[in-house]
């Protein structure tokens, strides 16, 4: 038997935590729950889970604070009702490896968390369009960030249309792992762009 994936579930609504626990079922072990950002950080440090599922809007700084504080220690997946571009980009910039909406069906949630536990990036297909939009802005700007390659653009467009990594690999005649690597590179470029925006803002506003 494969070892259980150890999970910390953080949400300020107990009913949501219960729902995630029920959706996960076999194959996952919820080692701790938390109701705010500080509790989540403490739980992650105490239990060293494979993945932490965090609500974006929690007391004490929310999932962004958890990702910024613990993103190097474990894989953080934001599970939220928000489909706002700013929230998605801020989560990626903070260090989250995943961003899923709370309407994600149980089987998809389990599959996504299984991938996230291995360090693979996961986000709801509908949100891929937001990532595409961000790169279009970067391409028109003068940030100096490398735009997406043609293959990365193809991958992201297919993700946005709801195709799985396996389906995308078959359509593009590349391995599923190669698709995952492309997505990781895409989010890595986006993460860099957000840092550069912050640096530029600081310089423009005299913030040392």
- pLDDT tens digits along 3-33: 899 999 999 999 999 999 999 988 999 999 9
- For 178-203, the pLDDT digits (tens) are 998 898 888 888 777 766 666 665 66
At the top level of CATH, the class of 125-208 is mainly alpha
Share of the chain above pLDDT 90, in %: 49
Q: What is the pLDDT of residue 5?
A: 96
What integer pLDDT is reported at residue 171 of this predicted model? 94
Exposed, middle or buried, 207 (CB in 10 Å: 0-12/13-18/19+)? exposed
The string of pLDDT tens digits covering residues 65-88 is 999 999 989 999 999 998 887 888
28-34 β-sheet, strand order: 28-34, 5-10, 51-54, 75-80, 98-101, 122-123
Same fold, 1-123 and 125-208: no
Q: What is the mean pLDDT of residues 165-177?
A: 91
CB atoms within 10 A of CB 205: 7
Look up the CATH superfamily of 1-123: Response regulator (3.40.50.2300)
Q: Per-domain residue ranges for the chain?
A: 1-123, 125-208
* Residues 25-40: tens digit of each pLDDT: 889 999 999 999 999 9
């Amino acid at each position: 038997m494969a070892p259980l994936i150890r999970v910390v579930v953080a949400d300020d609504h107990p009913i949501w935590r219960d729902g995630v626990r029920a959706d996960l079922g076999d194959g996952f072990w919820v080692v701790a729950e938390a109701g705010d950002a500080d509790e989540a950080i403490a739980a992650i440090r105490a239990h060293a889970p494979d993945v932490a599922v965090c609500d974006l809007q929690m007391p004490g700084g929310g999932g962004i604070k958890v990702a910024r504080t613990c993103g190097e220690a474990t894989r953080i997946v934001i599970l939220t009702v928000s489909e706002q571009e700013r929230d998605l980009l801020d989560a990626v910039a903070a260090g989250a490896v995943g961003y899923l909406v709370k309407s994600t069906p149980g089987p998809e949630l389990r599959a996504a968390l299984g991938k996230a536990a291995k360090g693979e990036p996961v986000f709801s297909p509908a949100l891929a369009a937001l990532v595409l939009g961000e790169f279009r802005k970067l391409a028109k700007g003068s940030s100096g960030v490398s735009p997406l390659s043609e293959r990365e653009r193809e991958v992201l467009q297919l993700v946005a249309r709801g195709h799985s990594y396996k389906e995308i690999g078959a359509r593009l005649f590349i391995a599923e792992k190669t698709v995952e690597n492309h997505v990781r590179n895409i989010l890595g470029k986006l993460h860099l762009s957000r840092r550069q925006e912050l640096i530029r803002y600081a310089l423009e506003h005299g913030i040392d």
